[in-house]
Amino acid sequence: MTSIPTRPATARGTDSGFGLFLTLILSDRERFFTEIMECDGLRAKLVHAFSTLLALCAIYGGAAGAYAGPAQALSAAIKLPLLFLGTLAICFPGFFVVQVLVGSRLRLSQVLALVLGALSLGAIVLAAVVPITAFFLLTGANYYFLTLLHVVIVLGAGLVAMAVLHEGLAFACEKRGVYPRKAMTIMRVWAVLFAFVGIQMAWNLQPFVGDRGQPFGLFRHNEGNFYTAVVYSLGRLTHGDGKAAAEPPVAYPHGWSHVEHPKFQWPHDSSLVRRP
């Protein structure tokens, strides 16, 4: 097995620019993971990963919202980074605590660097496909097509991020021995939870694309959550459109009429009166 050459400690401190971060996260992730395990340039990696996530998600959000005009583009450019960072803020504390409980020896800063690095790669994927979304925007794609396109792209970028995080934790487990094997299952469950929380947060922060036929709105007020809405929609599809069939008129005996009464029981109801 070929050993990976290590650089002198003096060279590592000077070789920590943003360009190096992009090179490592894109094409030399084993070295990226190794440096995180050794706490080499950890603060710089956190800063670069955070700034990459923030800037590139904003670029993609702006491209998505451009369909409905400048106001929607600016709104989406702010909300898409909030979507990723807000989901991370909700899910990360529980994830780290569980890792510690099952025996992980990774420090908080190391786990955060792995997660942010993975999410930053997802943001790079989003920025890389901006020309594709711009092409469909300029060639006359409609609102529904663009909405579906953006949903697929963002979900794909999220899957890439979770795959890289899994790769990093597997590296810590197999080659460094600082991450327990049983925690890998927990990581996979957490990835699913991260997706669930992210989808709900996207539901709350919408619209991202915006509808040209509607006035600009920072948020769309939706009752409940995404999952109850899906269940409700499926129920409507299963049982029809939900409109109750019109009740047949009640046939009263000749010469009688029904005075409004909530519990009409024929023929003993006291609300039946004789017409004059």
- Residue 1 in any domain: the answer is no
**Which of 128-132, 166-170, 194-198, 242-246 has the weakest average pLDDT?**
242-246
In whole angstroms, what is the distance from residue 200 CA to residue 190 CA?
A: 15
The count of structural domains within the chain is 1
Task: State the chain's mean pLDDT as an integer.
Answer: 79
Q: What is the pLDDT of residue 17?
A: 86
The partner residues of 272 in beta bridges, in order of sequence, read: 258
pLDDT of 247 strictly over 50: no
- Residue 69 in any domain: the answer is yes
Burial class of residue 19, CB neighbours in 10 A (0-12, 13-18, 19+): exposed
**Which of 8-17, 61-70, 133-142 has the weakest average pLDDT?**
8-17
Averaged pLDDT for residues 78-85: 94
- Residue 258 in any domain: the answer is no
- Residue 30 in any domain: the answer is yes
| Contact by Cβ (8 Å): 151, 157 | no
- Residue 250 in any domain: the answer is no
pLDDT of 244 strictly over 70: no
Burial class of residue 170, CB neighbours in 10 A (0-12, 13-18, 19+): middle
SS3 string, the chain, reads CCCCCCCCHHHHHHCCCHHHHHHHHHHCHHHHHHHHHCCCCHHHHHHHHHHHHHHHHHHHHHHHHHHHCHHHHHHHHHHHHHHHHHHHHHHHHHHHHHHHHCCCCCCHHHHHHHHHHHHHHHHHHHHHCHHHHHHHHHCCCCHHHHHHHHHHHHHHHHHHHHHHHHHHHHHHHHCCCCCCCCHHHHHHHHHHHHHHHHHHHHHHHCCCCCCCCCCCCCCCCCCCCHHHHHHHHHHHHHCCCCCCCCCCCCCCCCCEEECCCCCCCCCCCCCEEECC
Task: Name which residue leads in pLDDT, 273 or 130.
Answer: 130
- Residue 270 in any domain: the answer is no
**Which of 31-35, 188-192, 209-213, 264-268 has the weakest average pLDDT?**
264-268
pLDDT 10s digits, 18-50:
889 999 999 999 999 999 999 898 999 999 999
Range of the domain at 155: 16-211+219-234
- Residue 230 in any domain: the answer is yes
- Residue 55 in any domain: the answer is yes
In whole angstroms, what is the distance from residue 28 CA to residue 200 CA?
A: 34
